[in-house]
Amino acid sequence: MTNPIPLTEIWRGPLAESIHTGHAVICDDTGAIVEAWGDPNATVLPRSSAKMIQALPLIESGAADAQGLTPEHLALSCASHIAAPIHTDMVNTWLADIGLSDGSFRCGPQMPRDRSAFNHLIRTDAKPCQVHNTCSGKHAGFLTLAQHLGSGPEYVELDHPVQKACLEAFESVTGATSPGSAIDGCSAPNPMTTVHGMARAMAYFAAAKEGADARQSAAVRLWQSMVSHPVMVAGEKQPCTELMRACKEPVALKYGAEAFYIAIVPTRKLGIALKIADGGTRASNCTIAALLVRLGLLDADHPTTRRYMNAPIKNRRGIVTGMMKPAATLL
């Protein structure tokens, strides 16, 4: 086993004050590792970075087409959104269209991360609903699939047909049997795999061909929906959304809790997965930006890149006191 290695450094003046270590893998369409840092075989929970895998059965089953879901819906099924009106309005309409309500969700309520939506709840002394949960788009997809399959309402249970379909898809595209799962923040099971397994899954998405078979066609529709509607995947001023817009080629990006990140690069048939060992989100943002720059997919001097990579650190007077930058091994 290889230990995690430095991926992002936080400098204060002349000193590397903090160092974030982790693992990262770039994988090609054969499943082979193109480049790796740390331990490719480290067991990980991909958290919300696995949402496009969990959305595969929604399309494969015919549920998405039967319900007339648009690319915006599909992007939202892969999303960790900030509960801006653009997100919650669509989720509420989606629920109404399938004859369900907020109480049908099993993800739990969450205060919006969108500032205006947050302030509205505070001003009106209102409580958040489950639709405000960052994963409500994924759960709307789960409910749509459950209804299509004629299965029961407890769709987050491990033995529910929805979760069985998600696990089968997960093990298929990662190319390995999952050693287990844990319950995610939204109460859905989150299967374990290796960093290499997640990179291999993302390379599967990147190399998938429309019309080859149901799963590949579903994979193409999902990454295309993400790239076409990046604001639905996260929200304005969010790193996934901003970095997708800044890339010079189509790249689907998705972060997960505890500093996981994936990238789907269709033009190169490459998949990327990374995990920061200490769960530091600032480091996962910096590391994914550095890898995109390394591959020539993102300009190092793009204003969006500079928000996350080689980003100046300022004190409360606006004086630059340091920098957040990738470790030398990534450059």
pLDDT given at position 331: 84
pLDDT digits (tens, 9 = 90+) for 24-79: 999 999 999 999 999 999 999 999 999 999 999 999 999 999 999 999 999 999 99
d(CA 240, CA 31): 24
Single-letter residue type at 130: Q
d(CA 117, CA 124): 11
pLDDT digits (tens, 9 = 90+) for 145-176: 999 999 999 999 999 999 999 999 999 999 99
57-73 b/e (C-beta count within 10 Å ≥ 16 → b): bbbbbebbeebebebbb
- Classified by CATH at the fold level, domain 5-330 comes out as Beta-lactamase (3.40.710)
Q: Taking the chain, what is the end-to-end CA distance rounded to the nearest angstrom?
A: 24
